[in-house]
Structure 1
């Protein structure tokens, strides 16, 4: 019986092998970031661990910053998937916002190297390409849509969709993440001193934008 690979077009097999090498290189880069710091990745070390000569690595990545760009894209995609899984079964409005916030903070402390690349600027001179950063902008648009739904449902005041409110929301989440990673990098989401404040921080945030005479208490899980 023919194997699945034998029936694949040669070009498809080459593309699959290429993607497998890229994925392995990125896995290695994450491992290096976890042990040597986010700025500690080098083309030579990735190549060494892949078992190839450094010039061969440039067939897959044009530069070290291209590696970081691919890592940034991976972080965006995986954090977005974590948030999507958390909010999918929930009704729109504040319940989804709370769930997405928890999911993002949890993902960040469980993936500290990628989280630092997304939320800090640990690599001198590196900025994601416009194409890669566009995914981050889409995440912000999705958050804005969730806030707009909460306003329509009467959970929050109209101010909640203002640029200032969304900036404050990112400050709350990035603050929780940054404090946790900086002070207790080995702690998990459930046991972290700072991640343990997630619900309280969200309560304070939503109190600022709760409708007059109302409360979002009944929207908490």
Structure 2
């Protein structure tokens, strides 16, 4: 009986702890969205929760710990959206396209977290290895899709390289940056820059269009 009671008590305490963490992080995102990512403070999070700042240090030992958890959650959420978007599609260019569109759309819908993930708005902050793992997994999956696109003859062998993946990130970050800077309130479908996502992808993929003489070269005139 004592063991059962203790277990129930611990479960309730764990749920309350998680609820407090979730509430604190929701306030953190709201602060970043209105005041800027670098304007986040533990004291403002605490004020909005109606508690004293030292109370939150039981959950987050530092402000950077808050950023780290936000980074981890943002990366996981972005990863989930991308994986849902590519689910059921053939490997290769189809998934590269769908994943890119999903990422740009997610970033525009979650600008505060997107800034934390794709830029360096907080001096001195770098995500921990654990928080960064989802991003590393994403890059490995993207690299795998490029390799598969080359194997299928959809892209030139030069696409199976770190440089090609880096260039894609330049395209993605450019679209997001321009949209956020010029039309921060617009959504993905109506944004002056984000609605150019397909065109930007066409330009990017044209850079790696298969040439005759390479595997898949007979498809050189087809849109990837």
**TM-score of the superposition, structure 2-length normalised?**
0.91
Q: How many residue pairs get matched?
A: 214
Shift of 1:76: 0.1
Change in 2 beyond 3 A, CA 1:7/1:103: farther
- SS of the residue corresponding to residue 187 of structure 2 reads coil
Question: In the TM superposition, what are the counterparts of 1:81-100 in structure 2 within 5 Å?
Answer: 81-100=80-99
- SS of the residue corresponding to residue 60 of structure 2 reads coil
* Residue 147 of structure 2 is aligned to residue 144 of structure 1: no
Shift of 1:89: 2.0
Aligned-CA RMSD value: 1.7
- SS of the residue corresponding to residue 9 of structure 1 reads helix
Aligned equivalents of 2:86, 2:221: Cα separation in 1: 17
**Is the CA contact 2:143–2:162 (under 8 Å) kept in the aligned structure 1?**
no
**Is the CA contact 2:79–2:134 (under 8 Å) kept in the aligned structure 1?**
no
Aligned to 1:50: 49
Aligned to 1:196: 195
Aligned to 1:206: 205
Aligned to 2:185: 186
Aligned to 2:79: 80
Change in 2 beyond 3 A, CA 1:197/1:217: farther
Shift of 1:218: 5.4
Aligned to 2:152: 153
Aligned equivalents of 2:85, 2:6: Cα separation in 1: 38
**Is the CA contact 2:171–2:200 (under 8 Å) kept in the aligned structure 1?**
yes
Aligned equivalents of 1:124, 1:216: Cα separation in 2: 47
Aligned to 1:3: none
Aligned to 1:112: 111
Q: Bigger CA drift: 127-136 or 33-42? A: 127-136
